[in-house]
Amino acid sequence: MNRVLNYGDAVSVIKRAILEAQGIAARNVNEVQLKLYYLIGGFISRNTRDGKWGTGAIEAISAQLKKELPGLRGYSPTNLKNMRLFYEAWSYVFNDSQSLVDISSVATDEIKLESFPNDPLSIRQSQLTNCTEEFGIGFFSVSFTGHMTIINQTKDKDARIFYIQEAARNHFSVETLKRAIREDDYHHQGALPNNFLQALTSEEQAFRAVNAFKDEYLLDFINIEELGARDKDVDERLLEQRIVHNIRDFILKFGRDFAFLGNQYRIEAFGEEQFIDLLFFNRELNCLVAIELKTGPFKTSYLGQLNGYLSLLDEFVRKPNENQSVGIVLCKDANKAFVDFVIRDYDKPLGVATYKTSKDMPRDILQELPPIDELRKLLERSE
């Protein structure tokens, strides 16, 4: 029969795990920390959720740890509770019935807690295998703060896995991760209407292209509706200039691996001049990406216009080592079912995405945007 640990024993168990983990943390700090926090979280969960410990247990343990390990950071009552949440969020991945081994079995170092065999802070070897299969290496690349951001702001298991993989792949800061969750990238990434599968010669390239774009973008640095302009050409020019003025923000929102080549990109062919609103190069796709900006709802004529631009880019601009150019119509509104139907008849890889601006945003966020006078000056300068 397992004995119930008192708070003093609990402190000894956690303190021993901390000291052992600190000894090997220099080699792989984040991975060791996450494993340690998971195990401490499980230890606390088992003893608090079933009523073994009293109400003030976590606060008492935190205070005692601070006393016995002066200068120790990261073990406040709040953080210990976060460790419990971290464990409870992912214990389904690690839950199996095989015998326990040390936390660092994947490495060669050991975190041993033989003194308390009934409550070992250890993890199963097969559990770590499950973790790798579920998340890839990304799980251990995301900081604990990043993990807690994902756990606190998303409830769906698949959404959590998506944000872990995105954060690991793109080296998201916590602020970038929060923005991705706030803008609901999970439901928008790879959802835009497109003809990539039929228009791109490589299926792998088509898959990458689908995942490179979202179906909707939040351009919260744009406030064009409040200008009250009646001329849609003026509005589209302002939209373009505002994006160029905030090109770093636009690229961060638009996706990874984009390099900006210019706006009103000029191509001359057969005595005719054509101007592409925005031209990018995407390193992951290894291709030019043309964006046509529209302030109103989607029209079929936009696809024809962009299809022509892509023909010119592929013939006169694209380099021999680059893939087919891709075109995106970025408009205010689009009926996805209709776009999916009409886009299939075009031979160039095209997609249609929509955007929201400050008008569509909550008032508390809207107040943080630049004043309207600044936008007017920007338009006057551009003209």
Tens digits of residue pLDDT in 6-43: 777 778 778 777 776 665 554 467 887 888 888 889 88
74, 92 Cβ separation under 8 angstroms: no
**Token reading at 341:** 């139907």
Considering the domain architecture, whether residues 129 and 258 belong to the same structural domain is answered as: no
Does a structural domain hold residue 174?
Answer: no
Rg (Cα) of the chain, in Å, rounded? 27
Considering the domain architecture, whether residues 19 and 76 belong to the same structural domain is answered as: yes
Tens digits of residue pLDDT in 313-357: 999 999 999 999 999 999 999 999 999 999 999 999 999 999 887
Distance, in Å, from the CA atom of 383 to the CA atom of 379, rounded to the nearest integer, reads 6
DSSP output for 77-89: HHHHHHHHHHHHH
155, 89 Cβ separation under 8 angstroms: no
Considering the domain architecture, whether residues 337 and 252 belong to the same structural domain is answered as: yes
Tens digits of residue pLDDT in 176-231: 899 889 888 888 887 889 999 999 989 999 999 998 899 998 887 766 554 445 45
Per the structure, the complete domain to which residue 231 belongs is given by 188-382
How much of the chain exceeds pLDDT 70, in percent? 74
Single pTM value for the model? 0.64
Considering the domain architecture, whether residues 365 and 278 belong to the same structural domain is answered as: yes
Does a structural domain hold residue 356?
Answer: yes
Of 86, 106, 141, the position where a domain reaches its end is 141
Total structural domains in the chain?
A: 2
Q: Which residues contact 122 (CB under 8 A, 6 or more apart)?
A: 39, 100, 101, 102, 103, 111, 113
What pLDDT does residue 135 have? 55
**CATH number for the domain harbouring residue 256:** 3.40.1350.10
Of 109, 141, 173, the position where a domain reaches its end is 141
Going by C-alpha positions, the residue among 337, 180, 187 that lies closest to residue 254 is 180
Considering the domain architecture, whether residues 136 and 195 belong to the same structural domain is answered as: no
Going by C-alpha positions, the residue among 128, 157, 148, 139 that lies closest to residue 85 is 148
Which residue matches tokens 């006078």? 373
E strands, 199-247, where? 216-218
Considering the domain architecture, whether residues 118 and 199 belong to the same structural domain is answered as: no
What pLDDT does residue 381 have? 53
Considering the domain architecture, whether residues 197 and 269 belong to the same structural domain is answered as: yes
DSSP output for 109-161: -----TT-TTS---B-HHHHHHHHHHHGGGGGGS-HHHHHHHHHH---HHHHH
User: 56: helix, coil or strand?
Assistant: coil
